[in-house]
Amino acid sequence: MYGSHGRRPPRATRGRRGATIRRRARALAAVLAGAALLLAGCSSSGDGKGGGSASSEPSPTVGQRPKSQAPYWVDPAGNAARQAASYEREGKSAEAARMKKIAAQPVAEWIGTEDPRGQTERVTKAAAKVDRSALLVLYNVPHRDCGQYSKGGAKDAAAYRKWLDAVVAGIGDRAATVIVEPDALAHVVAEGCTPRKFHDERYGLLAEAVTELKRLPDTTVYLDAGNPDWIRDTGALVEPLRRAGIAEADGFSLNVSNYQTTASNIAYGKELSPKVGNKPFVIDTSRNGNGPLEGAHGDEEAWCNPPGRALGEPPTVETGHERVDAYLWIKRPGESDGECKGGPPAGRWWPAYALQLARNAKG
């Protein structure tokens, strides 16, 4: 299942991978706070980083965020919403309140492989019904994750293209913001990870994904560019991003499933942006409230389910920075990074970790 994707760089590498959000007419955007949709059949089975949200259980009504602040769909039947409802039934009011900090925010849907068109259609249609954009993640590139916790992906290029076609058909003319293949480029740049014989294929598939998605009438696309503690030389990402289609994309994404601070990501993104045509970027703030784990230089998996972390800034397009299109919750808070530090498989829902993130959050 998609989730914290076990994004880890090879042992030789420190750190880990780590529309243009159309700020369209924010002043005119209708605020639909309180609008809700019970979606029993919306599943998230992204095979690694994110977990599933499919359930036929009744779930509490979750309102949408004001569109001018966060134009993305809040899933009223997501893991956190259902967990909050469960805690309420058990009389665990403190736990329920903490879980609602997650349930109230839009989080990304990682598109799986079982029914990519059906899953994408369900999410984009649910979002369209409440006048929101779906936030989606593609994470199925062949030879994914360097054989680590979220290893896998499509068996070959043909299988990836077939899967991509299904996702594109599932989006159709509905509004969507898509993060393209977290870690894929950083794993090419990082030595000892993705074998060189697969590099050209990967660049080609990423460029095709960007091209196909941008042919849709209302889709915004961000190519993933890792995080500031992974590929520290931004210049090393310029040619890979170019070959992967950054010129046609709306921008790039940073910090997906990682814990680097928002400030460090802003500085990194502003350094990289002029090198790739002044493209804007988005930052995953889902779990970076306390930054990365300190004093863990000897831990090669310091990025994997680190203790003491916290939710970061809530998703918003009001970042206060010209090049920063949005803070997003791309990694779904409460879903495991992998089988480390007592965690379940990558992408599996882990309520105890979700509570920890919410408990440690500011505000």
Residues assigned a catalytic role: 145, 183, 337
For residue 61 the two structure tokens come to 């009504």
For residue 179 the two structure tokens come to 């993060």
Contact 277, 348 (CB under 8 A): no
Q: HSE of 7 in the Cβ direction (CA atoms, 13 Å)?
A: 32
Scored b (16 or more CB within 10 A) or e, 49-71 reads bbbbbbbeeebbebebbebbebb
Contact 255, 227 (CB under 8 A): yes
Partners of 110 in beta bridges: 137
Distance between CA atoms of 308 and 259, rounded to whole angstroms?
Answer: 11
Contact 150, 7 (CB under 8 A): yes
Distance between CA atoms of 297 and 144, rounded to whole angstroms?
Answer: 25
For residue 217 the two structure tokens come to 């009438």
Please enumerate in sequence order all residues whose Cβ is within 8 A of that of 80, keeping only pairs 6 or more positions apart, or say none.
99, 100, 102, 103, 333, 334, 354
Neighbours of 6 (CB within 10 A): 30
For residue 207 the two structure tokens come to 């460029």
